[in-house]
Structure 1
């Protein structure tokens, strides 16, 4: 992390585009903000847009703005994120989830430094420093035809790679101390044995999961010294999960119960049909039904966001998007 901070110090004033990579929850947005704060643009706007959190048909308007009457509901003109970030920094989070049609428009804007509002014909010159972030393997996405290689070359001028928390367990005590101090009164403290257990935990959700754990611990044990014995009730279980669209780690009923705990009880009861020599099962339909139920439940629990749903389901965002298209599921489903 010291090396990453040094790299940020060196490139902060460069106008070149920066691509920040790393798993979800590893601090990509923090790195982007630090790049802006360390630059000469620190006094100018810092505008962020999560590409995975905006419906595909609204993303162009969010990015470039729109004129009054451009589409149903556009009762007045609106400035886009590019215009709002003029002379400052534009941060595009989860850029790997951007639809291909929008990728072409972003590429043109980066090449010309000119944007046009939806429904408008007047070119608007913008001067922004672009920082983008993704937890998607963009080279693999290019191979699958989901991301443009020419756009990657535009975004990936300077790359900063954020490592997963599991690769830097020595940072965990420092991060825990920081979160304990910033979480507000009353403070908590961890015994040495408890901290050792935290350093051995996999932290699949990375720094974000660690921060949530500290907040949860403080809520349950305000002002206390946390022992090792208290941790099993506070750490999230890592047993049953859904990986690559398949159920792993137990029966369908038990996995459904576990997922219902996470998703707030939005999954219907599920039981696997028994195989009988006289009656087969439609395995393809069974898998499709399971995928439908889990994806819809995850979308419901995450307010329709692709990024959050993919994290719940243990999928890459591009994989989830492909499944949703195949199953005709929309983010609002």
Structure 2
């Protein structure tokens, strides 16, 4: 009985989880807003597909650089400072994106956004790890990952609609307003929190556990499958099919809906099917989806490709996000925080 009372979640702990989840949602909302808009900005389209790809890679590259530094800072000072710094960086990036160019300014904005993501993700996950006892931590980290999917889902269609109705700058003004609300919550509810004594291991410690490398590669591949189409597909849909930013955003939203719907089903299947079989299905689906998208000059093959690719992401990512937690639990001492920091790095590597 004392043990269950000790693990009961109190109001301040729940507030910390809510703030962390909203921070992750906001970060991915801004990321999703840029998917249908960034490749079609005049300053970007004039620079060509290689420059467009560089913009998407710059975000992930900066995220990889900042994540380990953020981990050290969070361990020493707690999550409050990095969360506020991430907020400031993301707000500045939104304002610069609203300007719309020139290209070098968009590149600076993208680097700022990547740095904010590295700080925000690590600080948010660390905040949950510090607030929630180890027996219940996995559940709340799973909720946080769901908020990531929700932010990614909301961003593209919302951006397309706002840009069409109110102009290019409108989505970024909206994102800035969301950031102000998010910032008020971070300032009000995030207090200095000491790191949990039961989770001192790092991502590097998790990586040393037997079986970690295949999971890390799987996370990177699952992330890469989506990111490889983000700089190219909006341009193809606009030029070949005449779709506007709203329709492009809805297609990316459909992809996320399919992946998010299948994620728990594939995760539940892990108890009955071999992870290798599920991943193999994901690889076949990814190949089919990419071929349909690459050759699609009509609406039906493109929609089918998006749906199949969404399913592929679920079959690749759901086993990986579950297995990385298993690897973290096998680390000595157990390290769920370190496991999801490693997840963050592998995901960013796939984006690059």
- TM-score norm. by structure 2 comes to 0.26
Larger Cα-atom Rg? 1
Higher strand fraction (1 or 2) = 1
- TM-score norm. by structure 1 comes to 0.27
